Amino acid sequence: MRSKTVFLSVKRGSGERGLSVGIIISKKVAPKAVRRNYIRRLIYSYFRDYSDVREQDVEIIARVIRDVQSLKKKPLSKLIRGELGILIERAGI
């Protein structure tokens, strides 16, 4: 599934592993490592806080696909969390 900023790949597992999250952010999207790490922490915290997903056996790969370097922290956080919420609902998790 895809939104303007995030591409989400969801694979349902077959065992009792629980939630597994992988995050991909290229230098083209956010040239500074500080910004890439901030986005990575945002995405991990979203899945940590979203208990419905945490309890399922799911593998999720989130890839940031839009240049977000120019956004401030608060609008960036709102954008990423909002789009993740929409994508999770679309995935039926």
Give per-residue pLDDT as tens, 35-89.
Answer: 999 999 999 998 888 766 667 778 888 999 888 878 898 998 899 899 988 988 8
Inform me whether the pLDDT recorded for 91 exceeds 70. yes
Domain 6-91, architecture per CATH: 2-Layer Sandwich (3.30)
Which tokens hold the place of 23? 């995050």
**Sign (positive or negative) of CA dihedral 11, 88, 44, 83:** positive
Mean pLDDT of 24-32: 90
Closest to 5 measured CA to CA, from 59, 70, 92, 91: 70
Cα of 27 vs its chain's centroid, Å: 17
CA pair distance 31, 50, nearest whole angstrom: 28
List the domain boundaries for the chain: 6-91
Report the Cα–Cα distance between both ends of the chain, in Å, rounded.
13
Residue 71 is predicted with a pLDDT of 86
pTM of the model: 0.82
